[in-house]
Amino acid sequence: MKLIFRSGIEGMCSEKDNLLHEVSSLCREFNFVGTPKKTSKETQLLELGKEARTKYAITFSDDNTENEIITEELMCVDVQNEEEVGDIINDHNYVPSRQRKREPLRKNALSYLTEKAQRESQIKLKELDLEERKIALQERQMNLQKQKLQMDKEKLALEIEERREKLELQKQQLQIVVKDKEKETLINIVVK
């Protein structure tokens, strides 16, 4: 069996396509309507609004049965019947006052955004505090390194000074030893 697609291309029908075609033709034949859909919240609100307005309009018309129309020329009173007033009220299709569904959402969104902004600002403050602590720690480490370098310089200077003193002492000892040997040699020479 050949099938013409919406694009105008002919194609071969598969068994699945044949079954779908049969089901759709049977549905059209018997006017099959699928499962009824649930009424949406909007339609429920519309119905409730209509009922409330009609009840109020009826009670309002019961309270005010006389409508006075005063004209300057005639000076007469025109009274309408309760049924006419009820019919007039029922003739109008009052659209329910539009409920602002987005207002609570906006409030929720606004509160969420403010809370989010507060959390973000708290996080930023904590990050800044941590950054300040890191900087202070780095400064302390740098100060300690400077002190260590200064102490190393002083130690090196002391070691150099100590070596100089040792060298001086050794020179003096050598000079003493040399003088003693010279004296001995002179004494030996004189004695001989």
Mean predicted lDDT score pLDDT of the chain: 78
* C-beta of residue 63 within 8 angstroms of C-beta of residue 54: no
Give the C-alpha separation, 50 to 95, whole Å. Answer: 8
Give the C-alpha separation, 168 to 162, whole Å. Answer: 10
Give 45-66 pLDDT, tens digit per residue.
Answer: 888 888 888 887 787 655 555 5
The three-point CA angle 186-187-189 to 5° equals: 65
- Looking at per-residue confidence, does 130 or 23 come out higher? 130
Give 139-168 pLDDT, tens digit per residue.
Answer: 999 999 999 999 999 999 999 999 999 999
Q: Which of 170, 35, 176 has its CA nearest to residue 184?
A: 176
pLDDT at 43: 84
Q: Which residues pair with 114 in a beta bridge?
A: none
* C-beta of residue 46 within 8 angstroms of C-beta of residue 96: yes
The pair of structure tokens assigned to 121 is: 């600002």
The pair of structure tokens assigned to 23 is: 């089901």
Q: Please report which confidence band the pLDDT of residue 110 belongs to, taking 50, 70 and 90 as the band edges.
A: confident
pLDDT at 104: 60
- Looking at per-residue confidence, does 95 or 129 come out higher? 129
The pair of structure tokens assigned to 139 is: 């400064």
pLDDT at 74: 46
- Whether the predicted pLDDT of 118 surpasses 60: yes
Q: Please report which confidence band the pLDDT of residue 130 belongs to, taking 50, 70 and 90 as the band edges.
A: very high
